[in-house]
Amino acid sequence: MTEGDHLVEFVEVMRRLRAECPWKAEQTHRSLARYLLEETHETLEAIDSGDPEHLREELGDLLLQIYFHAAIASESGQFTIDDVAAGLTEKMVRRNPHVFASGPTDLTAAQVNDQWQLAKADEKLQRTSVTDGLPPGLPALLYADKVLDRLDRLARLDPSARAAPGATDELGERLLDLVREARASGVDPEQALRDAVRREVNAAEGE
């Protein structure tokens, strides 16, 4: 088989299962939502484990959920898995001019990220709130990190837009300060907390 053949085979297998398996035939976007969330967290756990076979398996389970939702949308004429891939490809090309266009090619990773965020901002000019487009169900640390990132970018353009710091001992405020500290240090706060919990568990279990 050549690269991509197994993906084609997978699409055909799922087409048959959707048509011939009673359980799969009755699923909807809403009924599958919990599985998408579960598989996402299991994939994160596989990344933390450092086990490539575990990660390969969990990425497959995540791919299953992605295709499942695309298949449901296709049946109602909304979009297909090819539309999903086409939209993603177009986005990757548009947001990476240093690779696909005439932009500068000697950018650092940080400059590439800034360029990506500017492209996203241009695409979302209709945003009316700093939280627009952020799923409220995101883990709290990740949600805080993304909100602070947007506020930081807004403050670069308009210093008056940054909220004045207040003296408070509220637990939530202290947690938010820790997220700010992590961002300033270039640390992913969500990953840092998962790593700390894993170390605690390993210590408690004598590993």
How far is the C-alpha of 158 from the C-alpha of 153, rounded, in Å? 9
Q: What pLDDT shows up at residue 104?
A: 72
Residue 171 has pLDDT above 90, yes or no: no
Is the per-residue pLDDT at 62 higher than 90?
yes
Instruction: Give pLDDT, residue 192.
Output: 86
SS3 47: helix
Structural domains of the chain, ranges and CATH numbers in brackets: 5-79 (1.10.287.1080), 126-204 (no CATH)
Question: What predicted TM-score, i.e. pTM, was given to this entire model?
Answer: 0.64
Residue 52 pLDDT greater than 90, yes or no: yes
Exposure letters 15-39 (e unless 16+ CB within 10 A, then b): eeebeeeeeeeebeeeebeeebeeb
